[in-house]
């Protein structure tokens, strides 16, 4: 219990909390990207997958609350650590060069963190609540019937004939707007900057980075971040450029033909 309290009251404890919640959030954004990339498959796939997630009911809410708690703790620890370091001794105590480098990195982390937070709020309004933009309002989108059974890694998610929410069309119509797509692209760019520095330093905090592994870990983090960025840019990029066209017969195809 004392140990648990120290996590919240000492700087090393807060840093640890920030690292662990950061790692959990990296897991979420990676899984979310893999799920979203199903937009490149036939509509049944992403619709069946979203239907499966929505059908988790109380478990989905438990996961949502857990992720929200991670975001709150991560932001709180970041603010607390920033305030602490501001009130600590000035540059002369550590050597100006080292202090400047650290402060530039943490300024990037703060700025990108704030934009990512604003993006998440907008994104929830856009897709989860369906509030931003009448054309993507959830209740305005029809439900569709799955034509095939949907499986993920062999696990059955939904069966043919199930009535599901048309997430496929929602994503297409959401990204048909250049302004919305551009905002997503900038936000995921900044999220990648945040992940890049954050992931490297979280390994250090957790104690998984040593001299032997440092350069290997750095390359792994760089590769992960590049793939993460490309995957995220691919979705709005392919839709906006017309490289990915909505499947015939979907609401997205009908509406995008109506408003070329």
If the CB atoms of residues 7 and 26 are measured against ligand HEM, the closer one turns out to be: 26
Q: Does 50 bind ligand HEM (CB under 6 A)?
A: yes
* CA–CA dist 181, 111 (Å, integer): 21
Q: How far is CA 181 from CA 15, 35, 138, 177, in A?
A: 34, 18, 19, 6
With beta carbons less than 8 A apart as the criterion, state whether 195 and 29 touch: yes
CB of 98 to ligand HEM, least distance (A): 31
Q: What are phi and psi of 163, to 5 degrees?
A: -85, 125
Q: Does 221 bind ligand HEM (CB under 6 A)?
A: no
DSSP secondary structure string, 193-219?
Answer: HHHHHHHHHHHHHHT---TTTHHHHHH
If the CB atoms of residues 57 and 90 are measured against ligand HEM, the closer one turns out to be: 57
If the CB atoms of residues 53 and 96 are measured against ligand HEM, the closer one turns out to be: 53
Q: Does 164 bind ligand HEM (CB under 6 A)?
A: no
Query: Residue written as tokens 């009535």?
Result: 163
* CA–CA dist 85, 224 (Å, integer): 30
Tell me the sheet residues that pair with 165: 143
CB of 22 to ligand HEM, least distance (A): 12
If the CB atoms of residues 162 and 232 are measured against ligand HEM, the closer one turns out to be: 232
If the CB atoms of residues 32 and 101 are measured against ligand HEM, the closer one turns out to be: 32
The count of residues interacting with ligand HEM (CB under 6 A) is 19
Instruction: Annotate each residue in 5-44 with x if it binds ligand HEM (CB under 6 A) or - if it does not, as one string.
Output: ------------------------x--x---x--------
Which of the residues 114 through 153 are near ligand HEM (CB under 6 A)? 116, 120, 123-124, 127-128
CB of 67 to ligand HEM, least distance (A): 6
If the CB atoms of residues 13 and 231 are measured against ligand HEM, the closer one turns out to be: 231
Nearest 5 degrees, angle CA 106-CA 195-CA 23? Answer: 105
Q: How far is CA 187 from CA 22, 52, 161, 170, 233, in A?
A: 17, 28, 37, 19, 10
Segment interacting with ligand HEM (CB under 6 A) among 15-23, 83-91, 95-103, 229-237: 229-237
Q: Of 197, 217, 195, whose CA–CA distance to 207 is shortest?
A: 217
- Residues of this chain that interact with ligand HEM (CB under 6 A) are 29, 32, 36, 50, 64, 116, 120, 123-124, 127-128, 167, 171, 184, 188, 191, 232, 235-236
């Amino acid at each position: 219990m004392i140990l648990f309290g120290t996590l919240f009251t000492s700087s090393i404890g807060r840093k640890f909390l920030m690292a662990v919640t950061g790692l959990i959030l990296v897991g979420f954004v990676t899984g979310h990207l893999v799920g979203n990339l199903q937009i490149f498959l036939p509509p049944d796939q992403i619709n069946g997958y979203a239907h499966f997630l929505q059908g988790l009911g109380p478990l989905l809410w438990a996961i949502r609350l857990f992720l929200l708690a991670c975001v709150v703790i991560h932001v709180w620890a970041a603010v607390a650590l920033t305030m602490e370091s501001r009130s600590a001794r000035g540059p002369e105590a550590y050597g100006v060069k080292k202090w400047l480098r650290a402060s530039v990195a943490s300024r990037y982390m703060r700025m990108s963190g704030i934009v990512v937070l604003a993006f998440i709020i907008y994104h929830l309004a856009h897709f989860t609540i369906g509030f931003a933009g009448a054309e993507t309002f959830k209740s305005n989108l029809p439900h569709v019937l799955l034509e095939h059974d949907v499986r993920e890694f062999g696990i059955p998610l939904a069966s043919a004939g199930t009535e599901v929410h048309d997430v496929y069309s929602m994503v297409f119509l959401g990204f048909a707007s250049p302004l919305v797509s551009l905002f997503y692209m900038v936000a995921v760019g900044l999220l990648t900057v945040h992940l890049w520095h954050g992931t490297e330093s979280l390994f250090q905090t957790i104690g998984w980075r040593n001299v032997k592994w440092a350069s290997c870990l750095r390359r792994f983090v760089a590769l992960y971040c590049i793939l993460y960025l490309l995957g995220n840019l691919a979705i709005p990029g392919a839709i906006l450029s017309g490289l990915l066209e909505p499947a015939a017969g979907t609401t997205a195809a009908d509406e995008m033909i109506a408003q070329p």
